[in-house]
């Protein structure tokens, strides 16, 4: 009888901790979101999302931030696509082509984990150095490449963790039919793990679109919408940063508006990609 | 009677554990060879050496020869995908591929480009009929394979393996995860298929071996203790261990 109460107590304490953590975290995140909405929603006008800034950016109370919206979409989508181009082969290589416990796979993983933790300003500075060496100006292209570098460790390691969960028996069923590794990777493993892989790509995209430091030197900032890869481009995180540091409340309000737009973009793309993944993965083996 | 597969001095070590000790045996053509023995005696490992599945296991070391029609499948110039096409594997539990019922059978045909015709349906129908599945699934070919029952999925696995026109079927306790009716279904199919294929059956169930086997291999602790025709081994076992196993005192 005494033992039973002790075990029940353990259960309630554990449950208590879970609720407290959940409450604190959702509370804090909810607060941030609420601040964004309260301060940003009044600034969300049609002209905000349909026009470029008018009458000089730093003091600009007119016009909108279309330049930053388009710029951020170009930068983050471009960076994510570029990162995807390298992440898929690398994570597949780590999981399909070499034994997963191989020593150098372990080394690759550790390096990627370290890269994940490096502040993005360092990537920005690195990108800037390379730009200078190549004689390039701050441009959309330089921004995309730098963002891809920021996103790569996140995307590779998340995809790697997803692919490690691939049921070996299903993979082996494919080998049993005489499939090669590449056939198995593309026809069996990718369809089976697609929802997880989409989440991994989204994680990297979210980091990319919200990152200010890496595009600060590399993509630059401008009031115009870029028309070529060599043009400099604005971005939402930098729009938030610049406007928030102005001493005028009207401009600061627009910073919150820009942050709210950024949040909504991430939300929309996340919902869209999940929807697509669920459509494609109706055949995956549960 | 020809020997379809000959194993010569096979040793298998996984990590530091020796699983198979110097095994030599002959698998006769067009018969059912049952590999019997208590759990952990190396039956499955032996089976998986025959389609080079062991190399998918980390840290496995294989020496010796496995000859398919006289050619060592471990030779450098042998294409492993071709070996696995010619030697099909039916696993303990069915593992459907993440695609539709139809595509599960079409998969092997597509990767091996067995048939160039656009319309695979008649071919797929043929093999599903051969596996005794067609009538149950003909109206739901484009549903996910996992929508089928376990027994049906095992027949689907049989159909997708047969579609590659293998010469040998390796069956690794193919009925152990199935309900009795589905198990009987699979057993009957194997019975029919032995007309055309060489079948190697690993089984736990003595009665199943008695029903199906023409040739019996008895293994114990990674060694082949006795092999011979089913009649000889079941009725007149030569070795003490075989006798004990057949009587149920070991295993």
pLDDT classification of A285: cutoffs 50, 70, 90 = confident
**What does the pLDDT look like over A245-270, one tens digit per residue?**
888 888 888 899 999 999 999 999 98
Identify from B47, B68, B98 which residue to disrupt to test chain A contact, counting A C-beta atoms within 10 A and taking the largest count: B98
How far is B42 from B39, CA to CA, in rounded Å? 8
pLDDT classification of A56: cutoffs 50, 70, 90 = low
Nearest chain B Cα to A170, which residue?
B95
B99–chain A Cβ distance below 8 A for any pair: yes
* DSSP class of A137: P
DSSP A41-61: GGG--HHHHHS-EES-STT--
What's the start-to-end Cα distance of chain A, in Å? Answer: 41
A68 membership: H or E segment, kind and range? helix A66-92
Sign of the CA dihedral running B225, B231, B232, B234: positive
How far is B105 from B115, CA to CA, in rounded Å? 13
ipTM score of complex: 0.92
CA distance, residue B84 to nearest chain A CA (Å): 5
**What does the pLDDT look like over A162-203, one tens digit per residue?**
999 999 999 999 999 999 999 999 999 999 999 999 999 999
What's the pLDDT score for residue A100? 66
A175–chain B Cβ distance below 8 A for any pair: yes
Residue from the list B88, B91, B98 with its beta carbon closest to the beta carbon of A188:
B98
How far is B180 from B184, CA to CA, in rounded Å? 6
Reference A201, options A163, A155, A160, A157; nearest CA is A155
Average pLDDT over residues A34-45: 91
What's the pLDDT score for residue A1? 56
Q: Give me the residue label for tokens 């993440």.
A: B98
What three-state secondary structure class fits A162? helix
* CB–CB contact B81 A170 (8 Å): no
Name the pTM for this structure.
Answer: 0.87
DSSP A190-227: HHHHHHHHHHHHHHHHHHHHT--HHHHHHT---SSPP-
CA distance, residue A179 to nearest chain B CA (Å): 6
B46–chain A Cβ distance below 8 A for any pair: no
Task: Report the range of poorest mean pLDDT among A126-140, A210-224, B115-129, B232-246.
Answer: B115-129
Among residues 31-50 of chain A, which lie with CB inside 8 Å of chain B? none
% pLDDT > 90, chain B: 75
What's the pLDDT score for residue B117? 64
Nearest chain A Cα to B165, which residue?
A177
How far is B204 from B80, CA to CA, in rounded Å? 29
B14–chain A Cβ distance below 8 A for any pair: no
How far is B240 from B219, CA to CA, in rounded Å? 13
What's the pLDDT score for residue B19? 94
User: Are A57 and A242 spatial neighbours (Cβ–Cβ below 8 Å)?
Assistant: yes
Please state whether A263 falls in left (phi above 0), alpha (psi between -120 and 50) or beta.
alpha
B53–chain A Cβ distance below 8 A for any pair: yes
* CB–CB contact B145 A285 (8 Å): yes
CA distance, residue B181 to nearest chain A CA (Å): 24
DSSP B58-72: TTEEEEEEEEETTEE
B188–chain A Cβ distance below 8 A for any pair: no
Average pLDDT over residues A24-49: 92
User: Are B82 and B111 spatial neighbours (Cβ–Cβ below 8 Å)?
Assistant: no
Residue from the list B53, B83, B144 with its beta carbon closest to the beta carbon of A283:
B144
């Amino acid at each position: 009888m005494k033992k039973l109460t002790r075990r029940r107590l353990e259960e309630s304490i554990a449950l208590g901790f879970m609720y407290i953590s959940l409450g604190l975290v959702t509370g804090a995140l909810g607060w941030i979101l609420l601040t964004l909405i309260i301060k940003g929603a009044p600034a969300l006008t049609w002209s905000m999302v349909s026009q470029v800034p008018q009458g000089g950016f730093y003091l600009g109370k007119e016009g909108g931030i279309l330049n930053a919206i388009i710029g951020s979409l170009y930068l983050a989508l471009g960076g994510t696509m570029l990162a995807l181009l390298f992440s898929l082969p690398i994570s597949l290589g780590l999981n399909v082509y070499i034994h997963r416990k191989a020593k150098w796979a372990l080394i690759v993983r550790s390096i990627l984990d370290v890269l994940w933790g490096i502040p993005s300003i360092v990537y920005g500075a690195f990108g800037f150095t390379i730009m200078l060496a190549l004689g390039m100006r701050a441009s959309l292209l330089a921004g995309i490449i730098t963002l891809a570098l920021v996103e790569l460790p996140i995307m590779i390691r998340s995809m790697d963790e997803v692919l490690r969960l691939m049921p070996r028996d299903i993979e082996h069923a494919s080998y049993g039919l005489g499939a090669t590794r590449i056939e198995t990777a593309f026809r069996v493993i990718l369809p089976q793990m697609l929802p997880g892989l989409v989440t991994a790509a989204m994680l990297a995209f979210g980091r990319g679109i919200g990152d200010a430091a890496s595009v600060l030197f590399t993509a630059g900032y401008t009031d115009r919408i870029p028309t070529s890869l060599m043009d400099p481009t604005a971005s939402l995180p930098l729009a938030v940063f610049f406007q928030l540091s102005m001493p005028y409340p009207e401009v600061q309000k627009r910073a919150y508006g820009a942050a709210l737009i950024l949040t909504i973009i991430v939300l929309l793309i996340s919902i869209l990609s999940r929807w697509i993944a669920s459509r494609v993965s109706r055949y995956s083996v549960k | 009677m020809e020997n379809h597969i000959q194993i010569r001095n096979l040793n298998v070590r996984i990590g530091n554990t020796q699983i198979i000790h110097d095994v030599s045996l002959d698998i006769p053509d067009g018969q059912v060879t049952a590999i019997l023995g208590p759990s952990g005696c190396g039956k499955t490992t032996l089976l998986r050496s025959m389609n080079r599945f062991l190399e998918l296991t980390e840290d496995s070391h294989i020496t010796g020869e496995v000859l398919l029609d006289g050619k060592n499948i471990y030779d450098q110039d042998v294409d492993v995908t071709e070996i696995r096409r010619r030697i099909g594997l039916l696993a303990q539990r069915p593992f459907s591929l993440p695609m539709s019922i139809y595509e599960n059978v079409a998969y092997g045909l597509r990767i091996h480009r067995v048939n160039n015709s656009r319309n695979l349906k008649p071919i797929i129908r043929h093999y599903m009929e051969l596996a005794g599945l067609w009538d149950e699934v003909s109206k739901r070919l484009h549903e996910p394979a996992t929508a089928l029952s376990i027994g049906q999925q095992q027949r689907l696995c049989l159909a997708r393996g047969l579609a590659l026109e293998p010469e040998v079927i390796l069956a690794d306790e193919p009925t152990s995860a199935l309900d009795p009716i589905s198990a009987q279904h699979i057993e009957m199919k194997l019975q029919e298929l032995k007309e055309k294929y060489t079948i190697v059956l690993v089984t736990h169930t003595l009665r199943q071996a008695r029903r199906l086997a023409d040739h019996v291999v008895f293994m114990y602790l990674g060694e082949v203790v006795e092999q011979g025709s089913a009649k000889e081994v079941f009725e007149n076992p030569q070795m003490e261990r075989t006798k004990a196993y057949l009587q149920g005192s070991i295993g």
